[in-house]
Chain A
Amino acid sequence: MSGRPHHTDPRLVAVVAAGGVVGTLARYGLNQVLPHPAGGLPVSTLTENLVGAFLLGVLLESLVRAGAEDRRRRVIRLGVGTGVLGGFTTWSSLAFEVQQLGAGGDVRLAAAYGVGSVVAGFVTCSLGVLLAASLRRPHGTEDDR
């Protein structure tokens, strides 16, 4: 394996793109079934972002704890993490929805949605990291009971 930066390797870019297609389709599908009332709380984007932040926390922490990154783990990290989960979650919709709610006159809901997304995203992502850490605790340490 060469020391070439990952983002200049066309095969790895293709892996990310393929994951992005899957993540975008999943997000679109959820947008169709979850409520997204005009002027109301964008439940669909909020759900996608919180679920995605949790899962990326689980995935990346699991991979870090699995040891040095080999080719297989790199494809999983870039395909599932950067591609699927990166494509499944979205910041642009969050920003645009906050702007639209604020421009529509509901500044309190806009602020609650924006700040709430970030705070809840931090919490769910932390929970994902903690879950992966607890499942992947190295054997034979004093932490084992």
Chain B
Amino acid sequence: MTVLLMALLGGAGAATRFVVDGWFRGRWSTRLPFATIVINTTGSLLLGFLGGALATGAVGPSVLVVAGTGFCGGYTTFSTAMVETVRLAQAGAYRRAVLNAFGSLVVTVAAAALGVALADVLLGR
């Protein structure tokens, strides 16, 4: 049951990514693939919060599997971020390629840490 729910939420996460990505692209034309950065940052924030919630005992491991492995995993993407980085490099925009890859890493790890801290403050005893 947990695995089924996880798989379905993984599908919902991927669909959410598709819609958010299309929505962003229809509104802003940016020099960095900003839609993917926003998706990966918000997904990392949510997974950090879930991981932090597990650490406080507020939720059980199955919640982390369903919402974390399922939704956050399906919502965020490494492969698209890498293709976008390769495309920037192919276009000769090396600085933006480096900024996209490492900037994404720094921002998403900070978002995950923020999520853990938020769960600790809101749910910790």
Contacts and interface: CB of A to CB of B under 8 A. Distances in A.
A118 B85 CA distance: 10
B92 interface: no
A55 B80 CA distance: 11
Interface of B: 3, 6-15, 17-19, 21-23, 26, 40, 43-44, 46-48, 51, 65, 68-70, 72-83, 85-86, 89-90, 97, 101-102, 104-105, 108-109, 111-113, 116
17 contacts: A17-B15, A24-B13, A27-B73, A48-B78, A53-B79, A82-B14, A83-B14, A87-B11, A91-B43, A91-B76, A92-B46, A92-B47, A93-B72, A94-B105, A117-B78, A121-B78, A121-B81
A91 B15 CA distance: 16
A34 interface: no
Chain B contact residues: helix, strand, loop or mixed = helix
Interface of A: 5-8, 12-14, 16-21, 23-25, 27-28, 31, 48-49, 52-53, 55-57, 60, 78, 82-83, 85-96, 98-100, 102-103, 114-115, 117-118, 121-122, 124-126, 129
Contacts of B73: 24, 27, 87, 90, 92-93
A28 B6 contact: yes
Given A92-B44, A114-B105, A122 B10 contact: no
Contacts of B90: 129
